[in-house]
């Protein structure tokens, strides 16, 4: 089965040895996104802005592969402060509707560029 690299200018360029996403068949594997503005490559300020920026970045990568956020079947969320979990839930409700994707939320010691939140996921692209 072939692998296709997915890249969009509407999400931050990779800051390491990875691709924004890889499409294998109808399954898209999203790399972790932090709250980087895709144009300035600077981290946005504050947890709420970072959460929204992460969802916008994930949305841009999904769209570049021919999908949408609603096609995400598994979402992983990494937070440096789990007290922000409720805020993630609140903002996620603005981006998703039922049925929600399967999800995990983990507390971590640190993230790249001192980000407060990172998310990755798996998407099934409609054929």
pTM attached to this predicted model? 0.97
Predicted confidence pLDDT, tens digits, the chain (127 residues): 799 999 999 999 998 999 999 999 999 999 999 999 999 999 999 999 999 999 999 999 999 999 999 999 999 999 999 999 999 999 999 999 999 999 999 999 999 999 999 999 999 999 8
Token output for 73: 């079947």
Name the percent of the chain in helix, strand, coil, to the closest 5. 30, 30, 40
Distance CA 41, CA 67 (A): 24
Q: 3-class DSSP state for residue 57?
A: helix
| Alpha helices (H) along 30-78 | 47-64
Q: 3-class DSSP state for residue 7?
A: coil
For the CA atoms of the chain, what is the radius of gyration? 14
């Amino acid at each position: 089965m072939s692998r296709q690299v997915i890249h969009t200018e509407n999400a931050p360029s990779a800051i390491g040895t990875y691709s924004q996403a890889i499409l294998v068949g109808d399954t898209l594997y999203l790399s972790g996104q932090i709250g980087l503005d895709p144009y300035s490559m600077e981290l946005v300020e504050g947890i709420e802005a970072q959460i929204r920026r992460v969802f916008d970045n994930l949305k841009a990568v999904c769209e570049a592969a021919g999908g949408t956020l609603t096609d995400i079947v598994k979402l992983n969320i990494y937070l440096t402060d789990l007290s922000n979990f409720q805020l993630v839930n609140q903002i996620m409700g603005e981006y998703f509707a039922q049925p929600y994707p399967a999800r995990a939320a983990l507390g971590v010691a640190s993230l790249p560029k001192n980000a407060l939140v990172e998310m990755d996921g798996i998407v099934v692209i409609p054929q």
